[in-house]
Structure 1
């Protein structure tokens, strides 16, 4: 399925049973809630998906299951986060076999590669697949920045098409637009900068709190796209305390707790992660409960999408 690299793409959480196996039943509940809200793609195996704790067979199961659930409604994208180039090549081959529509790709894991090594890693893996690729640029969490000069080199490959922009520098959206125009699609990867990024020209939003609040997230995107900025800002202001749960070391636990509150997830995480407890849990629950209490009335988003 072709990817246009725009709109809201949830970085979905991986659902686990109390026995620490994949909870595909609750996973399907959440995916269907995302589809009902009108998201534009599904991203698997990212940070929120607890990718580092998943086995290769589990990743493949998630891709195959999601492809079956979405049934061609939206693209299914799998994150590639590997320690070796050969591992990345095998992962993209698996993704193709399992029916993925595209790839999100991080720089090499664990080893802090140089610019030259990072470019070589991305290009070698990209040459081994025809799937379209979005580079995940998150130097804050992963210590390697993909600079504009590096993108100039990477864009010589046709299937490198987009960036998940997570540098936390809002002006980077303008720098990318000034340098590359529409050659490099931009999806904001930071929930608390998403609307600002969209207004400045980003094409989409790889979202986190969408996992618990899909309709509100899609509403913000569709309203700003339609030029109804004040309405988008009003929802965004309500959403911000919840969105801040995403820029936190416990983002997985935070968002899973929010999913429980909205009825489309469980709190189960995979060790070494543990569910929130004590004062930390109390504070997060207060934020979620306040958000639910003041949840805004949304406009007819389907009408906007069909306009």
Structure 2
């Protein structure tokens, strides 16, 4: 399946049972909610998917089960977040074998690689497989920035590097990318609290987090702004903002999973060393969620906009 780099692509959570095994039944409940809302792709094994805690076998299970479940309705992507080039290539090949339609890729983990090393890392993986690739550019959290000059090298050498998950927090980067690369590099905004601004500035889509709890509202914002109904999109976005801010915390996994409990499409169980929320922090997050749900907006019929 070729990928159209546009629309809403949830960075989905990995669902666990209380005994720390995969909860595939609940995982599929969430995936169904995403598909019913009209998302445009599924991203597995990202930060929200608790990638660093998953075994290789669990990644394979998640990929195969998701590909089988979505039945070609949307592309399924697997995230690559590895410490070595060898491991990244192995995981990329495995994802391709298991039916993934594309990859999301972070720079090398832990080691703060030089620009030359980062470019070589991405090229080595890209040249090892045929899958299209979206590079995840998040220097705030992962301490390595993929600059425009680095992208220029990558795009010239690797046709299957096609998109960037733009998470620099600098919305002017969207215009810089468009001015330099045009349509050669698609832009998927990766920061929930900058999503609408980024889309209006020209981002092609949104790799979203709170979509894991509120898929309809997330897709509605995208579809409304796409046809110029900015005022309606903005009303939903303003309601959404206290929830979207849960995505920019170190505990985004726990916070977003808790939100999904309240919308009935997820559980709060996380894999250690993460712990479920407790004490005053738990009360504070629940209040944010409950306050938002109490005034949850009635959405326009966004699904029929393009029909």
Q: After TM superposition, where is structure 1 displaced by more than 6 Å over at least 4 residues in a row?
A: none
Q: Determine whether 1:275 maps to 2:276.
A: yes
Cα drift, residue 305 of structure 1: 3.6
| Counterpart Cα distance in 1 of 2:52 and 2:297 | 35
**TM-score, normalising length from structure 2?**
0.99
Cα drift, residue 304 of structure 1: 1.2
Q: Determine whether 1:71 maps to 2:71.
A: yes
| Counterpart Cα distance in 2 of 1:288 and 1:302 | 25
Helix, strand or coil: the match of 2:184? coil
| Counterpart Cα distance in 1 of 2:111 and 2:306 | 43
Q: Determine whether 1:189 maps to 2:190.
A: yes
Q: Determine whether 1:145 maps to 2:113.
A: no
Helix, strand or coil: the match of 2:134? strand
Helix, strand or coil: the match of 2:141? helix
Q: Determine whether 1:27 maps to 2:45.
A: no
CA displacement 1:2-60 (0-9 Å, x = unmatched): 10110000000000011100000000000000000000000000000000000000001
| Counterpart Cα distance in 2 of 1:250 and 1:276 | 9
Helix, strand or coil: the match of 1:14? coil
Match of 2:53 in 1: 53
Helix, strand or coil: the match of 1:152? helix
| Counterpart Cα distance in 2 of 1:147 and 1:267 | 36
| Counterpart Cα distance in 1 of 2:306 and 2:262 | 27
Match of 1:101 in 2: 101
Gaps of 5+ in 1: none
Match of 2:237 in 1: 236
Match of 1:299 in 2: 300
| Counterpart Cα distance in 1 of 2:306 and 2:269 | 34
Helix, strand or coil: the match of 1:95? helix
Helix, strand or coil: the match of 1:192? helix
Calculate the aligned-residue CA RMSD, in Å: 0.5
Helix, strand or coil: the match of 1:155? helix
**TM-score, normalising length from structure 1?**
0.99
Match of 1:259 in 2: 260
| Counterpart Cα distance in 2 of 1:152 and 1:15 | 38
Q: Determine whether 1:84 maps to 2:84.
A: yes
Number of residues of Structure 1 aligned to a counterpart in Structure 2: 306
Gaps of 5+ in 2: none
Cα drift, residue 302 of structure 1: 1.6
Helix, strand or coil: the match of 1:276? coil
CA displacement 1:47-87 (0-9 Å, x = unmatched): 00000000000001000000011000000000001111111
Match of 1:199 in 2: 200
| Counterpart Cα distance in 1 of 2:239 and 2:38 | 20
